[in-house]
Copies of this chain bind each other. A is one copy, B any other.
């Protein structure tokens, strides 16, 4: 895999997180990377192929991150806190969850990408569920869904209001009391 391909994916990731997948073009990518837009087509024939590659890659790196958190922190609360801080860090650059962004663009994406997105959220929810299970919650999958929903929604509100603490406010019931 060429370095250029990686650079395209990374840049597309950033732009999707800030502007949405429909918020940038191959011309934007090409200009920033310093090649021609037809060269982007060489790596990703259609933009929908780029979308699929992005979500597939993001699913994998996210799974890795979860595995890493599992052995980095002994307490589930600390893992959840780390997750929250991760999203807050992106938020400071105006970036929100890649897959949340694409979920908002649901109508314009292919069924392949939709399926991949659904798998991402399922993986996220399953991992959260394990954390709440360890914490002794009576209904871990439910708690996981509530955490995930609150996270995605609060990211939208926090960015709009320019206040990253909105995310922690929306989620503090899960990691504390």
Evaluate contact between A104 and B107: CB separation under 8 angstroms: no
CB atoms of A170 and B146 under 8 A apart: yes
**Which A residues have a C-beta under 8 Å from some C-beta of B?**
18-20, 22-23, 94, 96, 100-101, 103-108, 114, 117-118, 121, 142, 145-146, 148-154, 156-157, 159-161, 166, 169-170, 173
Interface SS of chain A = helix
* CB–CB A160/B121 < 8 A: yes
User: Which residues of chain B come closer than 8 Å to A96, judged between CB atoms?
Assistant: 104
- Give complex CA distance A153, B114 in Å: 16
Q: Which residues of B contact A101 (CB under 8 A)?
A: 104
Instruction: Give 3 closest A-B pairs by Cβ, nearest first.
Output: A153-B153, A152-B153, A149-B153
Interface residue from B94, B142, B154, B166 paired with A153 (Cβ < 8 Å): B154
Residue in B104, B121, B159, B169 whose CB lies within 8 Å of A20: B104
Interface centre among A151, A154, A160 (most CB of B within 10 A): A160
The docked-state distance in angstroms from the alpha carbon of A22 to that of B104 is 12
A106 to chain B, nearest CB (A): 6
Q: Which of A22, A154, A156 has the most CB of B within 10 A?
A: A156
Is the CB–CB distance between A169 and B150 below 8 Å?
no
Partner of A23, one of B103, B107, B153: B107
Task: State whether B20 touches A156 (Cβ < 8 A).
Answer: no
Tell me if A156 and B18 are in contact (CB < 8 A).
no
CA distance A159 to B170 in the complex (A): 22
